[in-house]
Each structure stands twice: as C-alpha cells, then as structure tokens.
Amino acid sequence: MNTGKNHKIVDCTVRDGGLVNNWDFSVDFVQYLYKCLNEAGIDYMEIGYKNSPKLLKGSESSGPWRSLKDDFLHDVIGEKQTTKLSALVDIGRVEVNDILPREKSLLDLIRVACYIQDVDEALKLVRQFHDRGYETTLNIMALSNVKKSHLVEAFKLISHSVVDVVYIVDSYGSLMPKDIRNLVKRFQKHLPNKRLGAHMHNNMQLGFANTLAAADNGVELLDCSVYGMGRAAGNCPTELLVAQLKNTNYSLRPVLDMIEKYMIPLRDIEEWGYLIPYMITGMLDEHPRSAMAFRNSSDKNMALQFYDMLTVPNVNS
C-alpha cells in the first residue's frame, strides 16, 4: 500500500458486526473498543445505525446500536477522544429529524447506504445531513450487480451533490482485485471532485486484498472490522490493515488487545468468516441471505447440497 497517501481507517465492528449478533454488544464491549481504536490511531469508529426504531421491523429485540440515541451515546462515550464517530442510515428507515445538528451530537460522520436506483433519494438525505454540519458519505451497495449505464447516470447526480466521499461497496464479496481496480478508475474518471471509500466483504477471502487494491489506487477511506466481524463472511480485518500500515502512526497492539479480550471469545458463540455457503453466494454474485439461512439450519455443513440448491435447475421445486 502506498503509505504516503492519505488513507483513513473506518472500523465498522459495531455496525456491520451487529448484523451478526443483532447488535447485542454490551456497553463494556463498545467502550473497550472505543478505547482500543483510539489507542490504535483509527480514524473513524462506526458505532451503529441512526435509523429510526419506528421504521424498523423487530427493533425492540435488537441491541441499542441498531438505532442509536444521542443521550445513550453520551453515556457510553463520555469524554470524546480523537477517533471520530460515524453512524450509517438506510433510505426509508431514517427519520431526518432524529439527527441533531452536529454541534449537539457526538457523531462526526453520517453515511447513507443505498442501492443504485435510490441514489437520488440518498443524495437528498446527504444534503440534509451536510446542512446540519456532518461529514457525509454515499455508500452504493451491490456494485457487482450494477449496469454501466446506471452507474453513469448515478455519477451525474453524485458529481453535482455535496457528498464528501463516495463508497465502492462489494456487498456480496464477489469482486476480484482487478474488478476493484477497474471500478476505482471509473469512479475517479467520473467523480474527479469526490474522495472515495471502499467497503469489502470476505466471501472469497479477498476482503483485505480488495481493500489493498482500492488503497493502492487512491481510495482514501478504508472500511474494516476487528477480527473481520461482519455479516456472513465478514469484512476486511482491521488488524491486517493496521499491520500493513505498520510504518504509519497506526498501532497494532491495541487492536490485538481487543481481539484477545473480546473478539476471540465472541467468535466462539457467534459465527462469521469464510464458510463454504458464503463462498458460494460470493462466487455467484448473490446476496448472502440464502447462505445465512442455510448456516442456521441443521444441514449447515452440507456444502454440496447448498451448491446444488443454488445452481441446479429445479432442485428445490
């Protein structure tokens, strides 16, 4: 990685990892993570979603990081340190008036996730968060499935927007490093006035490699999570990104501290990472939901059965 460039690390453990355990992280866990990320010099911690509980199904059974409340966040964080705080929102699930002006909030960055067809709606939200003083990103999901012509349409909208950073999101973990290089070049060509970010998944064991490919080609914001914790196959591991940036001001030791104290025990009771059903949905460029359901069934190790379900016509009919 070109360590001379201005890379920034965005740790998504609580937000994306919450998709694994229904955001059932204790306050102790999140406080310790915040301490470790600060000590490690990580630039941003995405501490959850800022969606409205009223607009979410089943939110009453979820942990508090799924719909962050400002008072709660103040209690958890206490005195703010140097790692900035981020929250993600989804179109149709966020109540704009839940987002305080930045000077009254502990959050620094609001990220808006959307599919390609909703970029215009997403940019309307971005505008409002920008006007309230936040840094903003637009995270375009499932890019592996997007047609070039749709992307070019979206670029036109984005280039005229106020959004600070545009994310390349490999939601299905199906892209190869060469795909990432090509996507980054296309984004740079069409959005010369925007900074870029990358959020990769590990279905094909390429989360870290694809993040490196993005970074080497000039992508600035690099998403990751400690021990790779994230939906299904998980994300680029924070510890690998920090280890690779070892000649910078990042420190690996606090990340290993978090792994030893919390992540290794957590991995014993929650499941994420490279597993064959996730590899298969990644290879097929599909959402991992079928694989997640399969891993929750008694057949979870029947790799061949799952492959046939997804590839042999009528095997399920």
How big is the chain by its Cα radius of gyration, in Å? 19
CA distances from residue 240 to 133, 183, 203, 228, 233 in whole angstroms, order as listed: 32, 23, 16, 9, 16
Which C-beta is closer to a second copy: that of 163 or that of 180?
180
Minimum CB–partner distance for residue 204 and a second copy (Å): 6
Chain residues in the site for a second copy (CB under 8 A): 1, 176-178, 202, 204-210, 212-213, 216, 237, 239-240, 243-244, 246, 252-253, 256-257, 259-260, 264, 273-274, 276, 279, 283, 301-305, 307-308
Total residue count of the chain as it appears in this document: 317
Output 130 or 295, the one with its CB closest to a second copy. Answer: 295
Shortest Å distance, C-beta 256 to a second copy = 5
Which is nearer to a second copy, 111 or 199 (by Cβ)?
Answer: 199
Q: Of 89 and 226, which has the nearer Cβ to a second copy? A: 226
Give min distance, CB of 260 to a second copy, in A: 4
Residue whose CB is less far from a second copy, 100 or 176: 176
**Euclidean distance between CA atoms 173 and 263, whole angstroms:** 22
CA of residue 190 relative to chain centroid, distance: 23
Report the SS3 class of residue 100.
Answer: coil
Distance in Å from the first CA to the final CA of the chain: 48
Residues 6+ apart with CB under 8 A from 11: 33, 37, 42, 44, 45, 46, 223, 224, 225, 226, 238
Instruction: Give residues with Cβ within 8 angstroms of 3, minimum separation 6.
Output: 245, 247, 248
CB of residue 308 to a second copy, shortest distance in Å: 8
Q: Which is nearer to a second copy, 82 or 205 (CB)?
A: 205
State in angstroms the smallest separation of the CB of 41 from a second copy.
16
Task: Name which of 86 and 210 has its Cβ closer to a second copy.
Answer: 210
How far apart, in whole angstroms, are the C-alpha atoms of residue 37 and residue 250? 10
Cα(272)–Cα(235) distance, integer angstroms: 9
CA dist 14 to 35, 47, 63, 219, Å?
Answer: 14, 5, 10, 23
Give min distance, CB of 274 to a second copy, in A.
8
In eight-state DSSP terms, residue 263 is I
Work out how close the CB of 292 gets to a second copy at its nearest, in angstroms, rounded to a whole number: 18
